Amino acid sequence: MPTKPLVAIVDDDESIRVTTKDLLESAGLNAAAFASAEDFLSSGLLPSVSCAIADMRMPGMSGLALHEHLLASGNPISTILITAYPDELVRARALQAGVVAYLTKPFTDDELLGCISSAVRPGQRSV
């Protein structure tokens, strides 16, 4: 029986974490939510995560810094960055750094699910 990909949601806004987790689970994905990049990194789930959705602006480590940290530490997890404060220079830097997508809030459920579908490819990690 095929396993479902695990998607990590990293956002300091609890309402975003809850609604995004509900959306992903209703779409048939496994989801785990974290209030900070540091919580995610210390969770022990990195080996199981297929994709991470991370807010650009959080206390402590930003979403882009999290993506760069994952790459540098040998955990190249597909990352989707979300932000309420779009910046074209940051967007360009993020895409150059290899993020899957840079979405501006508010985005539609279909936009996010489409990005996740692109990020989670056959043969990637699942739980």
Minimal CA–CA distance to 52: which of 9, 95, 11, 22?
Answer: 9
pLDDT tens-digit map of 31-64? 999 999 999 999 999 999 999 999 999 999 999 9
CATH 3.90.1150.10 fits 6-119, yes or no: no
pLDDT tens-digit map of 73-115? 999 999 999 999 999 999 999 999 999 999 999 999 999 999 9
Q: What is the mean pLDDT of the chain?
A: 91
What's residue 5's pLDDT? 87
State the DSSP string of the chain. Answer: -PPPPEEEEE-S-HHHHHHHHHHHHHTT-EEEEESSHHHHHTSS-GGGEEEEEEESS-SSS-HHHHHHHHHHTT---EEEEEESS--HHHHHHHHHTT-SEEEESS--HHHHHHHHHHHS-TTS---
Q: Measured between alpha carbons, how far is residue 27 from residues 21, 53, 96, 110 in Å?
A: 10, 15, 29, 10
Minimal CA–CA distance to 119: which of 111, 56, 104, 127?
Answer: 111
What's residue 121's pLDDT? 63
